[in-house]
Amino acid sequence: MGQTSGSSLGGRLKSFGHAFSGIRTLIMSQPNARIHAAATVTVMAGAFLLGLSRLEWCVIILTVAAVWTSEALNTALEYLADAASPEFHPLIKKAKDVAAGGVLLAALGSVIVGLLVFGPRLLFLLKK
């Protein structure tokens, strides 16, 4: 029984290479991704310094992943839309607006999660 090149170890490694290339493209091409990167570093440092519980870490990591995933999907959609229709098209604009709205919803949700997780600890520190 033969394996296809996509299921071989080399094919799997090549897939990871493509994925890392996509992440690099995302960060290098999108100013908002660099803002997400700075926020991610800040949140992770704060989580470490404030001694979050295992459950809180899970919630923070899932929230950060949701924001990054939405930003990546938004960027992919923008690239595809620009390739399909380089000139303005009202439906392409709507698709891009909806995708950008998805990123905004994920980011707003992450802010709410951050306030719920970090808020009580920060208030405690401020009252000391």
Which of 56, 71, 78, 87 is catalytic? The answer is 71
Residue 30, class by beta-carbon neighbours within 10 Å (0-12 exposed, 13-18 middle, 19+ buried)?
Answer: middle
**Integer angstrom CA distances of residue 27 from 8, 51, 70, 111:** 29, 29, 13, 21
Q: In the chain, count of helices (H) and strands (E)?
A: 4, 0
Residue 86 carries which DSSP code?
S
Do residues 68 and 32 make contact, with C-beta atoms less than 8 angstroms apart? no
Is 71 annotated in the active site?
yes
User: What residues are annotated to the active site?
Assistant: 71
